[in-house]
Structure 1
Amino acid sequence: MSEGSLRYILSARTPNNKKMLEYCIAIVLREALLGLRLIHNTERIHRTFNQGDIFVHIDDNATDSARILIKLAFEALVYDHSENINTEGASSSSPFLDVKGISKWGAAPEVFGKDNDTSTQKSDIWLLGITALELAYGDLPVRNREDLNCIITKLREKKRLPISLEKLLKKKGIIKKTLDSYKRKEQAFAEEFEKMVLICLREDPEKRPTADQLLNNPFFRQRDMKKFEQFLLSGKNPGKRPIDN
């Protein structure tokens, strides 16, 4: 995969340029979901779904409709080269938690903190929701699980995704007032995206969709590969090659 993982692709960008627009998120997560559905159909569990497992390839010799391939890596620890990822210029609000361990500190409630592996296919769907948040905001500004739980709880309460997650954590005591101040005309994200994320982050795993059901979500109807290619090329450093391919 010529461009490496999505985490690699975004790692060298400035903080603001790490954020993916919704149509890009729809494209990469839809393709990753196709892989996740295949895994689930064979009665297996991914367990580590995150942007470091989503790989991108650009075929310069292919036609426009087939230039880009997006694949989900599965049980591919050989790809874990994050110690070599360029973090120069990273935001001061970058998470203090290890991005390599996001599937542990960001695990579904039924999995987090358990001594035994209690992962299910619905736990993978939770991780997809966490990945969607990370792609939308560039980083998850969390220092511990309490911060993550605080963010998710407040997002569920108002069924909205604010412009900044940092503001939610800085104002824990008046979070309701902060969220009430957002009017629909000032929303930061499309309603389809908000709903998709929130159904993935439902507390009860039985109420989360399957990968197959999620593929039919209206959010994933967006498929402008040409624009996605432009996004990839806009931040590409021609002097460097990916190390996690």
Structure 2
Amino acid sequence: MSLLDCFCTSRTQVESIRSESQSETSIHQYLVDEPAFSWVPSSPRGNEMPLCSSNVSHYELQVEIGKGFDNLTSVYLARHTPSGTLVTIKITDLESCSEEHLAALQNEVTLSHFFRHPNITAYWTVFTAGSWLWVISPFMAYGSASHLLKTHFPEGMSETLIGNILFGAVRGLNYLHQNGCIHRSIKASHILISGDGLVCLSGLSRLYSLVNHGQKSKAVYDFPPFSRSVHPWLSPELLRQDLYGYNVKSDIYSVGITACELANGQVPYQDIHRTQMLLQKLKGSLSYPLEKNATLQTESRLKNSRSGVDSGIGESVLVSSLTHTVTSERLHTPSSKTFSPAFHSLVELCLQQDPEKRPSASTLLSHAFFRQIKEQTQDSILSLLPPACSKWPVAIPPVSTWTEPKYILMDEEDIDWEF
């Protein structure tokens, strides 16, 4: 029996996934005949979710907020009617999934069952409704960092905001690495922010466990499935696919690319052909923050200026209008912002060509760029963001009855809500 056969059950039956069930061969072994309640992990932050039922009638779909997983998954803002809690629901059409898609879903659900960390997106409950897989997660009011870039920070974020976002993401990444997993899809659209300022890593469908049959691999040779949309963030060694393979340090490279993405408001390499991008990465071409408006050399010359203002990161950063300077005339830009040497140092370390020269996620958390972030509260990030309530209407007419969605395929490049 194929994975597809395992998934596509009766359209009238609702099945739940039990936490005590485990399988390495088929996700069907997770499915039981109890349409009652499914596993709800406790929240390490005390933000517990009322017991989520696996009854689709207990959820009012409010609005579709994104796509994911090769457009096979629709992401909805919904309301859990018994408790009135807003949740995020990912609904995947299993009948449209290939064997590879189903294997990736099985891997995602299996591994996520074991995760307990505030910076990793929680799966409150997972169940099937007919041939549709439902994943219930906390509602992240700010959406993804990529969505914030498009809606509020098109020219890039401030260094302090970047620090807060990356610190939470790297904390989640460190947890995954300590538990023998490689994320393989670190990017802004996979960093979610809740209404109370909690940063969480999502995008677990490309996760790879280094532990197999009790043995931990030192290198991986598997290429992440459905990865065309994440190529700009992937490390040279992962893209190269040679006999050396890759390890958790490939995620650190992706952190560096994501840092540039948050600083620039756009993804490095996004405007060049994929073949050219691969060649540049293999040659060791680095992408510095704000590569269009500032260079590391300019920052080095100006870092001793006494006119700098405190960035809140622990380094002096010069933020000034360059309209009347030679630099601005050469770059044809009316204004520019520069980042601290600590930020440049972080990016350079992450983008080292040799994976062994990149710091571990644990070491990265001790970097000078993150030192003051550790002492801040989650209120700090909220002061740098617009009000979360402005993103959503006060009253959204719910979809009274769930119907099978008709999928309209979107261009991968336009997707910025990849949960």
Match of 1:13?
Answer: 152
CA drift of 1:234 comes to 6.0
Over alpha carbons, which structure has the higher Rg? 2
Question: Tell me, which stretches of 5 or more residues in structure 1 are unaligned?
Answer: 59-66, 78-99, 156-160, 169-177
CA drift of 1:104 comes to 1.7
The separation in 1 between residues aligned to 2:157 and 2:184, in whole angstroms, is 23
Change beyond 3 A, Cα 1:126–1:243: closer
Task: Pick which of 217-226 and 231-240 moved more.
Answer: 231-240
The separation in 1 between residues aligned to 2:248 and 2:286, in whole angstroms, is 25
CA RMSD of aligned residues (A): 3.5
Change beyond 3 A, Cα 1:45–1:207: same
| 1:23-172 matches, cutoff 5 A | 23-58=160-195, 67-76=196-205, 101=228, 103-114=230-241, 118-140=245-267, 142=269, 143-144=272-273, 146=276, 149=280, 153=285, 161=288, 164-166=290-292
Render the CA deviation track for 1:51-93: whole Å, top value 9, x for unaligned: 11111111xxxxxxxx32111125148xxxxxxxxxxxxxxxx
Q: Which has the higher contact order (CA 8 A, sep 6+)?
A: 1
Match of 1:184 among 302, 307, 311: 302
Match of 1:193?
Answer: 343
CA drift of 1:110 comes to 0.8
The separation in 2 between residues aligned to 1:230 and 1:193, in whole angstroms, is 21
The separation in 1 between residues aligned to 2:364 and 2:262, in whole angstroms, is 18
Change beyond 3 A, Cα 1:188–1:101: farther
Give the structure-1-normalised TM-score: 0.67
Change beyond 3 A, Cα 1:101–1:9: farther
Question: Tell me, which stretches of 5 or more residues in structure 2 are unaligned?
Answer: 1-138, 207-226, 304-317, 319-336, 397-415
Render the CA deviation track for 1:172-197: whole Å, top value 9, x for unaligned: xxxxxx87566224681101000011
- By percentage of residues, which structure has more strand? 2
The separation in 2 between residues aligned to 1:237 and 1:134, in whole angstroms, is 22
Change beyond 3 A, Cα 1:154–1:72: closer
Change beyond 3 A, Cα 1:119–1:103: farther
Corresponding pairs, count? 198
Give the structure-2-normalised TM-score: 0.41
- By percentage of residues, which structure has more helix? 1
CA drift of 1:207 comes to 0.6
